[in-house]
Amino acid sequence: MAHIVLTFDDNKLASALYGQFDENLARIEQKLGLDIRSKGNQLSIRGEPTAAEQARRALDYLYGLVQKGHDVSPSEVDGAIRISIAADDQLTLPTLEKKGKMAAAQIATRKRTIYARSVNQDAYMRALERSELVFGIGPAGTGKTYLAVAHAAMLLERGAVERIILSRPAVEAGERLGFLPGDMKEKVDPYLRPLYDALYDMIPSDKVERALAAEVIEIAPLAFMRGRTLRNAAIILDEAQNTTPMQMKMFLTRLGEGGRMIVTGDPSQIDLPPNTKSGLVEALRVLDGVSGIVTCRFNDVDVVRHPLVAEIVRAYDREGASMPGRGALQV
C-alpha cells in the first residue's frame, strides 16, 4: 500500500482541479481504484503503488492545465489517466519527462488550446507538427478530424500556410447529391458540416465567414480537386475510406510546395458500392514505408466522446469479427 501526499501552491486553483464536490478526484478514485482525500490545498492518495503514482502524475498534469487557465472537464481527467497509465506501459513515451512529469502535445489557436487525451492523440499531434503528409486512421470519436482541423487553423494563424482546404468525398451511406434540394453549395454542405463545426471551435465565427468569403478557407467536395496544385496550404481529406483508388491518387498528387496534407478515415466504415475498392485502404498498402509519410492509428481506447461510444465501437468490432461481411457501425 502506497501513501502519496500532494501539496498545491494555490487553494483556488486546487479547488478548480478537484471539481465541483470533488468530482474530478472521485473520477480518478473510481478509474484507478484508490482512496483520495482532500484538505484545502493538500491531497492524500492511498492505494496500490503503481496506481497511486499514476494518479500523482495525472493530478500534477491537470494542475498544470488549471494554472494555464484551462478548465478541467471529465474528458480531460480521463485523458490524463490514459496518458499516465501508458507512461508505465511505454517507457519511451515522448510525454514522459524527467521526474515523472507529463507534458501532452498541444495545439494552440487564438480561440482555444487543445491537449492530447490519449497516447495515440499525442503521437498524432506530434506527427502533424513534423510531417508534410499524415494519415490518421481509426474509429469514430477519436479526434482524428477535429485535431487535423485544429492543426490547420494553428498553421494559418502562425502564417506557416496561406490557406486551408478541407474536403470530403460526397458519398455517405448510399445518399447521392442529385437527390438533395438546392444549389451545389446547399447540396454539399451537409456532407462537410463536421469540418465547419471544427473550424468554428478554433476560429471566431466572424473570421471564419471572412476567410470563407476570401477563399482563405475553402471547403469543397473531393471532385473539385482535380487539376489543381495546392501550394502553401493545409489540405485535409476527411472520410477518405470513401474514395476510390483513382480519387485518392488524384488527391495525394495535389500536394504542392509549402503544403501540408492530412488524410483521415476509418476503413471499417466504407460506404462505397459493393466490390469497389477503397482508395484509403489501397494507399495505406502502397505507401507503407515511404519516407516522409506518417500513419497514426487510433483504436477504441482513444475514443474521447461519451464513454458509451467506446463500448459501442468495441461491440460492433466484436460483431464484425464474428460475422465477416456485416456492415460496420455508422457514427
Give the residue with greater pLDDT, 92 vs 218: 218
% of the chain residues with pLDDT over 70? 83
Considering the entire predicted model, what is its pTM? 0.75
60-74, 177-191, 231-245, 313-327: range with lowest mean pLDDT: 177-191
Q: Are 302 and 142 in contact, with CB atoms under 8 Å apart? A: yes
Q: Give the pLDDT of residue 124.
A: 94
* Domains contained in the chain, CATH given: 2-104 (3.30.1370.10), 108-322 (3.40.50.300)
Q: In sequence order, what are the residues at sequence separation of 6 or more whose Cβ sits closer than 8 angstroms to the Cβ of residue 146?
A: 198, 201
pLDDT band for position 88 (50/70/90)? low
- When pLDDT is averaged across residues 251-275 and rounded to a whole number, the result is 91
pLDDT band for position 37 (50/70/90)? very high
Q: Give the pLDDT of residue 91.
A: 41
- When pLDDT is averaged across residues 8-13 and rounded to a whole number, the result is 90
**pLDDT > 60? residue 115:** yes
To 5 degrees, how large is the angle CA 278–CA 284–CA 285? 95
Give the residue with greater pLDDT, 3 vs 84: 3
Q: Give the pLDDT of residue 175.
A: 46
Q: What does pLDDT average to over the chain?
A: 84
- The per-residue b/e assignment along 189-222, b for 16 or more CB within 10 angstroms, e otherwise, is eebbebbbebbeebbeeebbeebeeeebbbbbbb
- When pLDDT is averaged across residues 111-119 and rounded to a whole number, the result is 86
43-57, 77-91, 151-165, 288-302: range with lowest mean pLDDT: 77-91
pLDDT band for position 128 (50/70/90)? very high
Give the residue with greater pLDDT, 257 vs 306: 257
**pLDDT > 60? residue 216:** yes
% of the chain residues with pLDDT over 90? 43
CA dist., res. 297 & res. 262, Å (int): 13
- Give the chain's length: 331
Give the residue with greater pLDDT, 180 vs 197: 197
Q: Give the pLDDT of residue 93.
A: 44
